Amino acid sequence: MKIQNFTLEGTNNLQFDLKNFTGKKLIIYFYPKDSTPGCTNEGIDFSANIEAFKKLNCEIFGISRDSIKSHENFKAKYDFKFELLSDPEEVACNIFDVIKMKNMYGKQVRGIERSTFIIDETGNIIKEWRGVKVNGHVDAVLDFLNS
């Protein structure tokens, strides 16, 4: 499935524009919130494996609805080796259909369903994981890319 172009503001003064990444594979992962335990562990796992992804011509981007300021702090605190994109208007969230109703402390809330997408060099989704469990997920992404 071809992904429509989108632009988002990112950490490190990045103006992310999907069309600028033609010719590279992208791993775009959506996560609920900066500095929460699962989101922190997922970011650490992706960051720890950055060289393996680079060898496969892959760029990694994490997306949540948090602000750039929040992203900059989160990235700096855990020394992530990739950029985080801010999607407060849910532009990319809607394109990838990751906003879901979730139960939080007995209340229904709208939030991001932890999801990862691999986009090929021509802008097509070639693999997606939804409702991701963090443990072992980055290994599964690498296994898919290596197969």
* Active-site pick, 39, 63, 68, 145: 39
Edge-to-edge strand list for the sheet holding 58-64: 15-17, 7-10, 83-86, 58-64, 25-30, 115-119, 125-130
Residue 105 vs residues 24, 31, 32, 100, 108: alpha-carbon distances, Å:
41, 19, 15, 16, 9
* Residue 81, SS3 per DSSP: coil
User: Does the active-site annotation cover 39?
Assistant: yes
28: left (phi over 0), alpha (psi -120 to 50) or beta: beta
Q: Which residues are catalytic?
A: 39
